[in-house]
């Protein structure tokens, strides 16, 4: 006996059509989590259009022959990030007090604080790593000829970043305030004082007076953890922007490939 067709149901009682991604059944918690993530990203992207910028920055064309040497710049940036993060947490324990408090706070951090020696060690050795990486990155740029037109401005920014990194090393060296830190800083200040005409005023500025004084240490601390890191972050941003905008160079041994049909057309 043929089955009679079911009477038409009002739309409110009908089962809803499967949502996208639910064709194979009800959405699992994993699907829901994915959906939630996509929703959040979409919400932000709809209001900022950031995905375009991210795509522009991350999915670039790179020349044939790109190799491991091209990662030295990123390695330097991660060394900087490591210094920034460890530095922030070291600042929670450090006291820039020249009458003994600075040395005592470093001693306490190194000997008594959980993981203090480890994090301080990362910051201390990381600074050397960063300087080495900066120079390797500069050598790569120089020997690959990557400083040439149109990338001269990025070379100039890189030189400023190198100088700022050196200033970071110099000002950070005083902070443990032990004998080595004190005398190395005295010698360093006097070396820059030997610059004719401006040298004496420059060392007065760095010391905050004609002699090593009560505010010299806090001055170095402020320069080390506020002034220079801010400049470094801004200039690293400019450096990265130019890298993304101008693209990277092929290594110098990479021969330009001519397309055969163009060669024929030329004859």
Partner 1 sequence: MSDKHEKQKSKYTLDRQIPGAFDGETVTRRRFMTATVHTTGAIAAASFALPALGLALGPIFKSTPHRWETVGTVDQFPDNNYTPVVVTLTPGIGNAGEATVYVRKFNPEIDTDIYDRGKQFIAISNRCAHLGCPVRWVDAAERFICPCHGGVYNLLGVPVGGPPVRPLDRFYTRVVGEYVQVGPRFSVNSKLRPFSPRDPGEPLDGLGQYLYPSRPGAQKL
Binding site for partner 1 (CB under 8 A): 98-100, 177, 182-183, 186-187, 189-191, 193-194, 196-197, 199-201, 203-205, 207-215
Which of 208, 247 has the CB closer to partner 1? 208
How far from 228 is each of 2, 172, 231, CA to CA, in Å?
86, 11, 5
Which of 99, 254 has the CB closer to partner 1? 99
Give 169: exposed, middle or buried? Use CB within 10 Å, 0-12, 13-18, 19+. Answer: middle
Q: CB of 51: closest distance to partner 1 in angstroms?
A: 34
Angle, alpha carbons 78-83-89 (nearest 5°): 130
Which of 122, 174 has the CB closer to partner 1? 174
Which of 193, 247 has the CB closer to partner 1? 193
Q: CB of 232: closest distance to partner 1 in angstroms?
A: 19
Q: CB of 214: closest distance to partner 1 in angstroms?
A: 5
- Cβ neighbours of residue 63 closer than 8 Å, sequence gap 6 or more: 247, 248, 249, 250, 254
Cα distance between residue 215 and residue 136, in whole Å = 36
Q: CB of 233: closest distance to partner 1 in angstroms?
A: 20
Cα distance between residue 198 and residue 3, in whole Å = 103
Query: Per-residue DSSP letters for 73-138?
Result: HHHHHHHHHHHHHHHHHHTTT----TTTHHHHHHHHHHHTSTTHHHHHHHHHHHHHHHHHHHHHHH
Q: CB of 223: closest distance to partner 1 in angstroms?
A: 10
Which of 143, 201 has the CB closer to partner 1? 201
Structure tokens at 29: 């918690």
Which of 49, 99 has the CB closer to partner 1? 99
Write down how long the chain is.
Answer: 267
Q: CB of 231: closest distance to partner 1 in angstroms?
A: 15
Q: CB of 97: closest distance to partner 1 in angstroms?
A: 9
Structure tokens at 46: 């709809």
Cα distance between residue 90 and residue 78, in whole Å = 18
| Torsion sign across C-alpha atoms 172, 209, 191, 97 | negative
Which of 2, 196 has the CB closer to partner 1? 196
């Amino acid at each position: 006996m043929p089955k009679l067709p079911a009477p038409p149901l009002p739309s409110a009682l009908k089962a809803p059509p499967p949502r996208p991604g639910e064709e194979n059944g009800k959405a699992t918690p994993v699907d829901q989590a994915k959906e939630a993530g996509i929703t959040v990203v979409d919400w932000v992207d709809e209001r900022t259009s950031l995905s375009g910028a991210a795509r522009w920055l991350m999915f670039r064309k790179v020349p044939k022959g790109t190799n491991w040497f091209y990662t030295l710049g990123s390695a330097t940036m991660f060394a900087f990030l490591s210094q920034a993060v460890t530095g922030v947490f070291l600042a929670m324990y450090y006291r820039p007090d020249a009458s003994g408090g600075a040395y005592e706070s470093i001693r306490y951090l190194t000997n008594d604080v959980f993981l203090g020696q480890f994090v301080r060690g990362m910051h201390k050795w990381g600074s050397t790593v960063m300087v080495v990486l900066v120079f390797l990155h500069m050598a790569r740029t120089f020997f690959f000829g990557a400083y040439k037109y149109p990338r001269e401005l990025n070379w100039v920014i890189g030189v400023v970043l190198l100088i700022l990194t050196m200033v970071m090393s110099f000002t950070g060296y005083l902070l443990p305030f032990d004998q080595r830190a004190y005398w190395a800083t005295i010698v360093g200040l006097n070396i820059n004082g030997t610059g004719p005409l401006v040298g004496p005023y420059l060392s007065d500025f760095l010391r905050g007076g004609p002699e090593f004084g009560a505010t010299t240490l806090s001055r170095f601390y402020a320069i080390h953890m506020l002034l220079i890191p801010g400049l470094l972050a801004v200039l690293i941003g400019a450096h990265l922007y130019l890298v993304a905008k101008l693209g990277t160079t092929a290594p110098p041994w990479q021969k330009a490939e001519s397309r055969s049909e163009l060669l024929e057309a030329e004859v």
